[in-house]
Each structure stands twice: as C-alpha cells, then as structure tokens.
Amino acid sequence: MSMREIKLCLLGDSGVGKSSLVVRFVNDKFTANLESTIGASFMSKTLVVNDTSYKFQIWDTAGQEKYRGLAPMYYRGAAAAIVVYDVTREASFQTLKDWIRELKQYGSDNIVLAIAGNKCDLEDLREVSTRTALEYAEENNAIFCETSAKTAHNVSQIFTLITQRLPSES
C-alpha cells in the first residue's frame, strides 16, 4: 500500500466549526463547548482510500483568524484546503470569497479546494441554501459538502473526496 502525507489547511470565520470538524474527523467526538485554546492547531489522521494511505496533517487556525501575518507559513506546502462556513450564518458564507482570495495569494496553484457548509443539523436556523452554495462551489471548481461536526454527517466524506482530487504522484 502506498502512503502519502497531505498537508491540509482549514479556513473560515471564527465559530463556524473548524475545530469541531477536525475533532470529529480525528477522534470521532463532538463537544459542545470546545474551548478555542484547545482547538486543534495541528492534528493528524490517516485515511485509507483505494489502497492508498493518506496521512492528513491538518492545520487549524485555532482562533488565530485575526493574525493574518501568519498566512504564508500556514499555507506553505499545503496540498488541500477546506474553507468552512456556517449554514446558519449568512455572513460566514459571504466571507468565503476573502478566504479563497487569501488562499489563491499564498497557496500553491494546484491546491485542492473544498467548501464545507457546516452545522447542517440546524436545519430550522438555516440562512444559506444548498443550491446557492453549490453554485458558488462550482464557480470556484471546489468540492462541496454540507457537514455536521455534531452528527458526523459528511465529515469523513469530504476528506475522501479530497483524496480523489489530489494530483497523482509523479
């Protein structure tokens, strides 16, 4: 079985659920009061897809969203990024463009981009329609999933979809 190491960056406004998604993916847990200080700043998890073992090194801003000066180091060598918004907070969807712009500025040209509409378990509070987000993802050639760190809906799925878009190793 071949093994690949994938650096992946998580982006998105504070509170959209980035740390919760990482904890769900890595530990298969959900904690309603995850403290931002404990928020995963660096975690790794191996996923096996089609006889290849992908070791994800996941970089989370862990509440450092404001320290934009860290960006170049944060993005260096990243093969993939997940940009997260909260389906119950329209403003977090509107800022996706800023995160994607920053990613294009500092990230590599062939970085695999995924967009996660998180908290899809909160259907009654939804502010962003699936269709609007899907169209936006298509315009940006991005993978798109609505996820829930709470119920685990589509969490490992989005990572699996990313592995399928990675350029084959030369």
Interacting residues toward ligand GDP by CB under 6 A: 14-20, 32, 34, 36, 39, 118-119, 121-122, 148-150
- Based on CB atoms, which residue is closest to ligand GDP, 9 or 16? 16
Nearest of 168, 82, 152, 164 to residue 120 by alpha carbon: 152
Q: DSSP class of residue 107?
A: S
In whole angstroms, the minimum distance from the beta carbon of 18 to ligand GDP comes to 3
Q: Is the dihedral of CA 164, 58, 108, 114 positive or negative?
A: positive
Q: Which is nearer to ligand GDP, 34 or 161 (CB)?
A: 34
Q: By beta-carbon distance, which residue lies closest to ligand GDP?
A: 17
Provide long-range contacts, Cβ within 8 A and 24+ apart, for 139-143: 140/100, 140/113, 140/115, 141/113, 142/83, 142/113, 142/114, 142/115, 143/112, 143/113, 143/114, 143/115
Q: Minimum distance between the CB of residue 154 and ligand GDP, rounded to whole angstroms?
A: 10
Which of 59, 93, 82 has its CA nearest to residue 143?
82
Instruction: Give the angle subtended at the CA of 160 by the CAs of 154 and 161, to the nearest 5°.
Output: 85
Query: Contact 115/142 with Cβ under 8 angstroms?
Result: yes
- Which pair of structure tokens corresponds to residue 38? 């404990």
The residue among 16 and 111 lying less far from ligand GDP, judged by its C-beta, is: 16
14 vs 160, beta carbon nearer ligand GDP: 14
CB of 78 to ligand GDP, least distance (A): 18
Nearer to ligand GDP, 34 or 43 (CB): 34
CB of 109 to ligand GDP, least distance (A): 26
**Nearest distance from residue 168's CB to ligand GDP, in Å?**
32
